[in-house]
Structure 1
Amino acid sequence: MEQNTFMDVDSMSTPRVSQFQETSRYTPSIYATPQSSSELFVTSGFPNFVNSPIASLDTSIQNNDEIYFSNDVIQRYAEAYESTQHQEDIGSTPEIYEQMCDEYSREESSRMFNFESREYRIWEAERNTWNLLKLLSQYRFTPIKNTDETRSPFQTDGQLLCELLASNKDFAEAWIVRQWLWKIAPEFITVETNPEYRSFTKNSILLDPKKRDSLEYKYLDPDGPHRTQQALNSLDQEHEKELVRSIFEYLRRGQVDNAMDISDKNGHFWRTASMSGIILYNEKVDDDDDITTIGNINRHIWRATCYHCANQENLNTYDRAIYGVLSGDYENILPVCRTWEDQVWAYYHSLIECQQDEYFSKHVRHMGVSDDDHLSINIKVIPPNEIFGIVESKRVDRDPDIEKFHIIQKLIILNDSKEMIKQLKEEIVDKRLSREDEIAYVHFLRLSTHLILYLRDLMLPTPDKESDNIIKLYTELLIEYRQNKLIALYASKLPRDISIEIYALFLKDITSSYAERHKLITLAEQYGLNAIAIARRTFELIFKEIEDADKYGTVFDIRIISLKEPISAIEGTQIRALEWLTFNKEQHREALKLGNTLCRRFLASGKMNIAGRIIMEMKNSKSPLSIIRYVKSEENDDDEVDTVYVEHQNYYTMIEYYNKYEIWWKVWMSKPKKPNSKDMDDWNRRIKEVTNSLDTLFDKFLESYIIDFIKDTNNMMTDEDEIRIRELERVMDIYIPNAVLRHHKALYETRDLIPANLEKSFNLANRVVEENADLSMHFRRSKKLQALIMALRDSYLEILRKNPKDISNVLYDE
């Protein structure tokens, strides 16, 4: 007899075409006892995460007050996800997650054997979800092979079933769903064994002579109580109720062998016989190549009989449910179904039995019964897309936590990834799931994120907007929980603009060391994020916290803060914002330009101490900011770069002058009280030196600002240039008048020590009104023109006092 290609059908194995074998004709029972859960897990344990960028990153970048979850769940999921990205078989991803969920659920159950805790139920539901996705993904992404068109004239039911599984995708998927529902059914307490058949009733009859000799009490055969309407002893009734319940629970889990075994152990051999008809007729080849047959050759007759029994109203509910399972009649199974999983199983089991029998009936029956036999089985076949609507309308067990997983499981089964993402978005983004319920929110958000990432890896349709919203929420959650080293991984799964914004928002609040912040930028680069754009956006976000120049009030109200005044922690953070732009050499020029902008904004508010700190940081070779002050190079003649460099030098000159003035003031105020002393001589020498240095810096300061301002105003300007010019005007309105008045004071006060300084103090008027500069506008806008006039008046009166005859030479000195 010719050998056929068929699927090796096991009760818990996935019916994929890749499992087809050119072996014997024997097909194991499709209702064999299922494998244990542990056998389905990868025995090698969890994957090696040592080479993961996440695992290798120094955890010191995390803050000391980082929030950790049990067994560091979030990090382990990230490592698991990343490890699967480097594997050829992405189908292993759900299996890894499933193992982790199983471990966490066992940990929860081990705590005082709390199998009913919320955390345990949630972990169990997630484990079941990943298991379902694993089974269906393995099947859906396995190439389907064409079955052999040449069919043997004699086909056993087992061979026909393998053929059906191989040729009908919908049937195969329904088969997998039923296997999954078998596996996830919870444990139950089976009946206590009583090997003596109806012993309490039998003993009560034997001990009563009247009953023992009466035909009325000859009803201990299996059908006796129903035929005679005589009740069994209450203890036998209770035992049989527990027995049929246990038998049903075994059948619910696909464990027919156990159901028959428990029947044998309790003396109900007739039940074993009635259930054995479920085994498909097939052939078995032994080691000597001898062929023997197994199973029920007239299974369709047996099924019709079971269907008739299931509809006997005088039978126990569980008895009817057992026959409902054997015949595939969901109407008699549903009354004993307590959960969503039980009801879905009832419909899917019925669907499989009906489609299987229909397929068998279309092909040549074996010699047991002819095709003309009329067997009345009236079961309405309900397709999968209708099953879940019916189940949801009938449900009474409402667990909000588990219902969310049922939605996902339903859409995995229906292969509707688009609707799944929309449902997840409604649950999380639309706030149906309360953020205050942290356990459920974090768990479901993490699951949803990794589901989306897996579906994307499979290149299944996932609505971009809804998917990105969920991943973004999860990334924000990681930021909130300070899972610093994980954020780049998930941000990299977002669109470019969103990833830049969310990573920059994360970096904005990082206050750790320069080296640790560099690691975060490096991590962003490793995951393909635009590190340059992120660094720029990070600076902008911090920079936005500085008030706009227009909000600083009028120029004449500004108080210039001394360079020696300390800066606040917030102001220090704003300075350190520039450091984000120093990690990439390509950004050094941009960093210097933005450093200039930062100086302008601080100077515009009178915070010269902060601007001074920025300039000093750039000058300090040990500071990260020192790397950007050498941006000007001979190889680059770009005008913008030159302008940036010149502006930086101008701020340096200004700070240098003001710093020198503060030194001058300190020396001036330290004048000794004794006129004729060594201390006075030292002081005279020091005050002359510092005054002369101050005078030199003053000329350099004014010249730099006049030249830069004229150059910019003569060029064609962009909007950014116009903003810069307005800010520069404000800075000059504040600092030029102030510098002139300060310098006048220094010159005027040292007129006796350096006689030429008196005339210099008076000639400051010429510097203010020079035609090529006209600094008088800054005095007018700052309302310091009156102060300048009064200062010049003092110089004029002093000159007049000292040299009244030659005053004209002073007034017209060029």
Structure 2
Amino acid sequence: MEKFTFPQKKLDSLFEDKQKEQQQTSTLPKPNFQKSLKLLDEAVSSPVYSQRFQQTPKSGILRNTSFTPKYASPIPGPRFDLSAIGGSPGGYGLQSDSMITNYMSQGHHSQLNSMLADDITTTNVSLLIEDDPGLAASSGVYRDFYECVKSNPSNMQVFELMSDCETVCTDQVLLLKKLVNRTTRNTQQKLKKTYDTLELLYSEKCTWQLLRSLYKDRLSDHDTPHEEKMVLDTPGKIDNKSDEMIIDELFEKTPWIRQAQLVIDWLESSSLDNLEMFSDNVRFFSDQAVAWENTLHELKGKKDGTITSTTRAFVDELDPDAPIRQNKSLDDLDKEDELRLLQHMFVCIRAGQLEKAQEVCRNCGQSWRAATLEGWRPFHDSNYQKLGEGGQVESVQGNQYRDIWKLVCWRMSQEGKFSQYEKGIYGIMSGNLGAVLPVCKTWQDYLWGYFKVMVDTQVEREVRMSTTSPRSFEDLPQEYWDRLMKPEQVFSEIEASLDEKVQRESRMWFNVIQKYIILGDIGSLIETMFTWIQADSKRLPQHLIRFMAHLVLVLRKITDIQHTDKANTILETYIEILIKNNNKQLVAFYVSNLPKKSQINWYAKFLEGIEDKSERQNVLRLAEDEDLDIPLITKTVVENIRQREGSAAAAASASGTEITDEDREKIEAIDWLVFDPKQRGEAVKQANAVMRSFIAVKKHEAAKEVFNKLPADTIDIIIRQQTQAGSEMLKPEVENAIREYMCIKAYLDAVDGFNDWFTFFHHAKPQKPDLTMGATFTDKVAYEHRIRQYETELERWRHNLTSQTKISKERIYNILLFTDGGWMVDKATDDTADDGRKVQMERLRELHIPGLCFNLHHMLHSTEMYADCLQLADYIASEQYRLYKEFSSEDLKTLLRHLQESSLKLLDKNKDPLGYELV
């Protein structure tokens, strides 16, 4: 029999989509996990994929869809059940299958591992297990996802992007499986993080599949608008419209039903991985393919008079209904085989492999049971529309009495003497959810059962309302029609399930994400992910945050994201992880996806932690490639570092003017602004600010290091840039910055000049030689020679001291008599000036002008330039310079006391108190 399919036009379109996906996959950048593979022994062979069975339609409304997994990978073991060794908080919402769990619990775990494991040397195993390599092996995923997004920048490439993301996860799952397949029970605890990472990546792979499948449909052009059309609308009745045509039209005109079927296909494809692993390990039929062969053997033995192994009454007929009709049992071995057969059949149906289930039945000698699964096919007689080639009558397809078949299946699913798996099989065929749920053990199983029944009831109602057949339909139980639900109702019921395990799984991360993707509720999805971030982002797995960040990027391409600020917070959390993990090459791209203000703040925060100059140039180049505002970012970096408060311990340990680590960071920060000559103006402003803070605490050496960070041609470059811009006048802020720069230069020169004088005056003066008591004639002659030499050196010292005093005096006066308003006073009026800067400059005048005056007086007084000391008083009192305003009352008292000492010295030299000659 042929499968029920889409119209040919749609199939051709889907085939073209698949070809495009395959072509795109071939261009995907090679995943960055080859380094991890090198740890494996060269003898390890590549995984061998099982031959997939062709996926068949599922129930009376199943269709071929655009969803086709790239290549699903069988997952070893009971979906990595780590219950014995614990797991990450929150869970991962994996598509685990209860049947596999049961099978593995029966002692077949070692058999499965031996089947999947490749050869590997003991040395490499020890190395891998010791280091828990899952984390290192998965570190390249961050780079792989970056390359995926970069290689698919256009909104038109969004489906290629999702496919590439899925491929990265699939490849990484294969790599991690190579590791976990070689573990023993004793070493599982060491690889716990590897197991957790594997589970996360597998769930992520499935989620990318779901997203791609649903939004390929949601964004595609259909003949009818995408507004939801209720099935209750009166359908148009066209003569000779078959069940298949009615179902086709329903799917075409009702997007939510069509997408519900895509969800079913996705769930079954995910479960297909389990089937491939499970089917090769289940053997329950004989070579002769005879049903109930043990019971048959017992019956033959009784007939022949042979002594049998039991005296229990078996069925004496072997038709399919005999056990129920006669209320007698089968042989125990047959009962066990029967249960395993039904379990396997359910696993096949759960994986969408109806034909495989029928094949298993035939292999067991139960062709009648395979036939019971055939009645779902919708009826279609193409001869009503047109005859075949040459006017030949085409064969009729499907089951014209599908309603009767469905009613019989319903009653079979209600039969109390059947096992729960047999009832589940016929329950899923007839839409009896109550019979299906008992054999559903996970959230994914429940979702599959609910969606199958939901779509089945919607289709059945449409067929009954739209058919033109004169035959009346058999009535289905009211319980069947009670399942006319919508996806929102389905999720509400699952979340309220009496099964605590299912309730718990419904709150798992990936299950919640998949729920909102299915519902198309992007606003709630963003809101929920933001809530997880806000609750405790430190405990969330980094791969989960990576996935959520890339999900936001993808959703921006295909939807209008609500809660933009919350979506940005998710991206910012991922950027923080990249910075923490030292993924320097990736940060710029993800920062570029934030709003302008956030771009500045986050990239500046990133740059603060980079100290190597070559790396600094590299990350700035990356920022330039992403069109980030480099001038504003580097300015922010310097301001952040400059305004950073040092630790109290560091401040306590620093003695006097010692340069601390915090000071060193501020000094080195200026380098960010000197890479680009266009930023020299900003470099001067920021350097001034840093030097102001150092000068305020008299860390002159630190201030000089900052000053030396600026190239010597800085001022010339600023003026040249202003000229090239077509303006002869500098901007007020630039002019004031240059003036402040010159003020600081004058101050540092003055400090150096005074320090040089002080050192020369106190430490370079030659010492007069002494003549010891009782010296001999020879000693006296030598002493006279030393005295002459001393006088020569003393004269040279006095000459040099005079020169040094003159230089130092000029440098200090350069500050005290600074032109155009005074030292650290702006000349140009700037309406945008920072008030804090103005206050700092005023404070620096108050701190240093009195001190410079005292130093100048000490220098002049020490060199007996007493008249010059009194002349200093004239400058301080002058209204032109108004230096006296910077003196406190205590400073003025101290200054007057010093001037008094100088006046007394003048009087001792027969001069008046002001230094003039007495007449």
TM-score (normalizing by structure 2)? 0.73
Structure 1 distance, partners of 2:587, 2:472, is 68
DSSP-derived class of the 1:334 partner: helix
Corresponding residue to 2:871 among 743, 746, 763:
763
Q: Which residue of 891, 900, 903 corresponds with 1:793?
A: 900
Separation in structure 1 between the aligned mates of residue 587 and residue 7 of structure 2, nearest angstrom:
45
Aligned match of 2:434 = 331
**Does residue 30 of structure 1 match 2:144?**
no
* Cα contact 2:137–2:176 (8 A) shared by 1: no
Tell me, yes or no, if the aligned pair for 1:15 and 1:172 is still in contact at 8 Å: no
Q: How does 1:536-615 map to 2 (within 5 A)?
A: 536-545=635-644, 567-615=659-707
Post-superposition offset of 1:267: 0.4
Higher mean C-alpha displacement, 338-347 vs 182-191: 182-191
Deviations along 1:501-549, one digit per CA (max 9) or x if unpaired, are: 2222222333221x4323333333433433333222222211212589x
Q: 1:444: how far off? A: 2.0
Larger deviation, residues 4-13 vs 263-272: 4-13
Pairing 1:199–2:298 present = no
Secondary structure of the 2:888 match is helix
1:133-158 CA distances to partner (integer Å, 9 max, x unpaired)?
Answer: 010010000010259x9997434444
Q: Which amino acid aligns with 1:788?
A: L
2:511 is the counterpart of 1:412: no
Q: How far did residue 784 of structure 1 move?
A: 3.3
Question: In structure 2, how many angstroms separate the alpha carbons of the residues matched to 1:640 and 1:221?
Answer: 100
User: Would you say the 8 A contact 1:646–1:708 is kept in 2?
Assistant: no
Q: How far 1:749 sits from its partner (Å)?
A: 3.0
Partner residue, 2:817: 703
Q: Name the stretch that deviates more: 386-395 or 220-229.
A: 386-395
- Choose from 839, 850, 856 the match for 1:737: 850
Q: CA RMSD in A?
A: 4.1
Which residue of 2 is the match for residue 140 of structure 1?
218
Per-residue CA deviations over 1:669-714 (Å, capped at 9, x if unaligned) read 212225532544543443233222223223322211773369659x
Whole-angstrom CA distance in 2 between matches of 1:592 and 1:749:
38
SS of alignment partner, residue 511 of structure 1: coil
1:183, distance to aligned residue in structure 2 (A): 0.7
Q: Deviations over 1:39-65 (max 9, x none)?
A: 73289xxxxxxxxxxxxxxxxxxxxxx
Aligned residue number for residue 274 of structure 2: 187
User: Structure 1 pair 525/744, CA: closer, same or farther in 2 (3 Å)?
Assistant: same
Question: Taking structure 1 as reference, are residues 13 and 253 closer, same or farther at Cα in structure 2, changes over 3 Å only?
Answer: farther
Q: 1:210 Cα deviation (Å)?
A: 8.1
Deviates more, 1:575-584 or 1:34-43: 34-43
Q: Within 5 Å, which residues of 2 pair with 1:3-402? A: 7-8=7-8, 30-31=57-58, 40-41=69-70, 70-86=138-154, 88-113=156-181, 117-146=195-224, 153-185=239-271, 186-188=273-275, 189-190=278-279, 191-192=282-283, 193-194=285-286, 195-209=289-303, 217-282=315-380, 291-364=394-467, 370-378=470-478, 379=480, 380=482, 381-394=484-497, 395-397=499-501
One of 653, 672, 693 as aligned partner of 2:746? 653
* 8 Å CA contact 2:237, 2:466 repeated in 1: no
Structure 2 residue matching 1:258: 3-state secondary structure: helix
2:710 paired residue number: 618
Q: Take 2:55 and 2:270, find their aligned partners in 1: how far apart are those partners?
A: 22
CA gap of 1:37–1:110, structure 2 versus 1, over 3 A, is farther
Confirm or deny: 8 A CA contact 2:549 2:574 kept in the other structure.
Answer: yes
Deviation at 1:652, TM superposition (A): 0.7
Change (3 A) 1:570 1:261: same
What residue number does 2:25 align with?
none
**1:256 is matched by which residue type in structure 2?**
L
Question: Amino acid of the residue matched to residue 345 of structure 1?
Answer: W
Q: What secondary structure is seen at the aligned counterpart in 2 of 1:696? A: helix
Amino acid at match of 1:793: Q
Contact 1:211-1:217 within 8 A present in 2 as well: no
- Provide the rounded CA distance (Å) in 2 between the counterparts of 1:283 and 1:106: 47
Q: How many Å apart are 1:288 and its aligned residue?
A: 8.9
Are 2:67 and 2:213, in contact at CA under 8 Å, matched by a contact in 1? no
Match of 2:609 in 1: 509
The AA in structure 1 aligned to 2:579 is I
Deviation string 1:621-644 (CA, Å, 9 cap, x unpaired) is 6xx999669888683244443332
The residue number in structure 1 matching 2:784 is none
Asked if the contact 1:429–1:470 (Cα under 8 Å) also holds between the matched residues in 2, the reply is no
Inter-partner Cα distance in structure 2 for 1:486 and 1:445: 15
- 1:648-678 CA-to-partner distances (Å, cap 9, x unmatched) read 1111111111112222222222122255325
Q: Would the aligned equivalents of 1:7 and 1:163 in 2 still touch at CA under 8 Å?
A: no
Secondary structure in 1 matching 2:220 = coil
Alignment check: 8 A CA contact 2:600 2:633 kept: yes
CA contact (8 A) 1:17 1:142 kept: no
Q: 471, 475, 492: which one pairs with 2:571? A: 471
Q: Deviation digits for residues 80-105 of structure 1, max 9, x if unmatched?
A: 22222146321222222211222222
**Cα gap change, 1:230 to 1:413, in 2 (>3 Å):** same
Deviations 1:455-481 (A, max 9, x none): 111133321232122222222222222
Deviation at 1:451, TM superposition (A): 1.4
Structure 2 residue ranges without an equivalent (≥5): 20-53, 73-134, 226-234, 769-786
The CA distance in 1 between the partners of 2:407 and 2:464, in whole Å, is: 13
TM-score, with structure 1 as normaliser: 0.82
Find the counterpart in structure 2 of residue 22 from structure 1.
none
Matched, 1:662 2:755: yes
- The answer to whether 1:694 aligns with 2:808 is yes
Q: What is the one-letter code of the residue matched to 2:320?
A: P
Cα deviation per residue 1:221-261 (whole Å; 9 max; x = unaligned)? Answer: 11101111111110000000111111111111111110110
**What is the letter of the counterpart of residue 382 of structure 1?**
M
Which range is displaced more, 380-389 or 8-17? 8-17
Aligned positions, number: 747
CA contact (8 A) 1:200 1:236 kept: yes
Could you tell me how far 1:486 is from its partner in structure 2?
A: 2.0
Kindly state the Cα deviation for residue 10 of structure 1 after the two structures are TM-superposed.
Answer: 11
Letter matched to residue 544 of structure 1: Q
Aligned AA (1:486): L
| Contact 2:14–2:66 (CA under 8 A) maintained in structure 1 | no
2:662 is paired with a residue whose SS is: helix
